[in-house]
Structure 1
Amino acid sequence: MALFAVIGLGSFGGTVALELTQLKHDVIGIDTEKKYVENISDNISHAVIADATDEHVLRELNVQNCDAVVVAIGEDIEASILCVLNLKNLGVEKILVKAKSKAHHMILTHLGIGQIIHPEEDMGIRVAQSLSYPMVRRYMALNDDRYIVKVEVSEKLQGVEFKDIMEHSDGVQTLLLQRGTHVIYDIAPGTLLQKNDILIVEGPVNLLRKLSSRFISK
């Protein structure tokens, strides 16, 4: 379980906050609009009416200790930028920001934001999934509980046997391993993984969550 903050609880931010909660994470939801906070307060860990352009407010809300912060402020570009600056001053390392325009995107790039989002309605779910499963590059939901995910093998798993990484993962099925242009469908247990190998696996969300920690680069 991780701790995330979502600043701006409109359509996009609210979707991110709810999906992260469904994935069993703690979420601090922040918005200046009472109606947005009230709409979501019963469904996430913490929902507060607060001004994210005030650094002291963010500090009091413990935002600096979050694993990641999503800035989903809608129309007010100035407020979005001030919020980002506050988060950087607080030492938050992982910041994802919703951009309203190309100019907004350019400013965020100059501020050193690596993950800038131009969302459509359903993109909130994708962002939440990427935060919950850092090793996942792409995924497809089969139903509310089962997913097919594309996993990239990190450098720390170089030389690890396939059977070791998949140990205690009964219920997760490996569909294929891609190594460059070569695709392996029947993977031998002793196959040694290489950096940048791609695994396509399928299984229930709870088992994929347990498996994800083995792929995260330290």
Structure 2
Amino acid sequence: MRLQTLAIALAASFLCFAPARAHDHAHMMQMEAAQPLSGASLYNLASHWTDQDGKAIDLKSLRGRPVVVAMAYTSCKGICPLIVANMVAVENAAKAKNLNDVRFAFFSLDSKVDTPAKLKAYATERGLDPAQWSLYHGDEKAVRDLAAALGVRYRPDGQGGFDHSAAISLLNAQGEIVFQKLDAKLDTDEFVGKIESLAKK
């Protein structure tokens, strides 16, 4: 209940954004991330999602193992491909250390365009391993609530896409944020070290 209340309050703050200007490709905007919720599990959020196979899921279905989480969208030509590339780099480095019990979750910011079928095609095009990766579609409320909980700020860019912060988060088995990178400059070794620390607990 506490998590839901705080998430709703943070989400409401997005409404205060001024209307977005047309997207400037010369300086792909990386919006400053808000502070994520701390000391509470994201799995307490009551939002509902659908995975790339069209299966309805609750966030708590991810419970039980470390999860690397990001919010992006499939038609993004700016920061999103780098976010996914960083996640793949973490995946490969984790596998090299036999850290195979890790999930990777891509939550779309684009409720209108990123249908489960679109997400599945996106995963196939990029060779994302379905044994470790899940891509999720949610309605606008689900997106707002999760973005607020993760500290991800986003807004329409005026051209059908979104300006958004480039956060990649690591959740522990209980769904609590234990590490977060808030820009595109990801130190893979550092991130994998955090996963390794969870594996030793």
TM over 0.5: no
Which has more radius of gyration?
1
Query: Could you say which structure has the higher strand fraction?
Result: 1
Q: What is the TM-score normalised by the length of structure 1? A: 0.27
Larger relative contact order, structure 1 or 2 (CA cutoff 8 Å, min sep 6): 2
Q: What is the TM-score normalised by the length of structure 2? A: 0.29
